Amino acid sequence: MLSKLKDLYGRIFINQAKTPLPIPEARRKHLSIAKGITPLEPEDVGWVMSEIINESGHGHFDKQFLQPMTHDELRAKLFSTIDKGYFDSDGKRSHGAIYGKYVKGKIVGFMWIKQANQLEYEIVMMGVDREYRRRGIATEFMQMMLEKVIPATGQSRAQASLYMTSQHMMKLLRTAGFKKAKKQPEKQRVLLERFV
């Protein structure tokens, strides 16, 4: 059953994408999307959860993740994204994928991408282990998303909604060509976008 879900996941996620997600037999050991970046392995969800919780205290993610009552829902969304290629949020289904960066078989970073429609993609979250920062891993994730996931149509849009305090992410996005969107979301957040 699980392999069927993952196979279905490979077909469902971003059917317009340049690089469709691989079937289970072609996972991390066999197929790298870009420089050690592959679809996240289910056993690495614990590491991603820890990274999100820890970095929420530093302003990189929503502080709500510091509250234990949010952990079960977040874990469920992570697993659903990996196994089914979608997650439900506020009664709405979003297709998505989570990619991991592996160094010598160890996960050191992740990027969670959702697809709103055929031309809109959003970075839900991205994190890199503190020990591996300043080594270009976040830049590799951005290049992978812009070059290998999002179809270059000239009308495809990549977005990232982030907290004003996340200056590192803001700098990364601006370096990758993202600009402040004309229509902005709620307070204390800024939406950046780039057409591909």
Length of the chain: 196
pLDDT digits (tens, 9 = 90+) for 20-54: 443 333 344 445 666 788 888 888 899 999 999 98
Instruction: Please calculate the CA angle 158-161-165 and round it to the nearest 5 degrees.
Output: 135
Q: Which spans in 13-148 are helix H? A: 45-56, 71-84, 137-144
The CATH-assigned architecture of domain 2-152 is 3-Layer(aba) Sandwich (3.40)
pLDDT digits (tens, 9 = 90+) for 134-152: 889 999 999 988 888 888 8
* Cα 114 from Cα 123, distance rounded (Å): 7
Query: What residue spans define the domains of the chain?
Result: 2-152
More confidently predicted of 177 and 18? 177
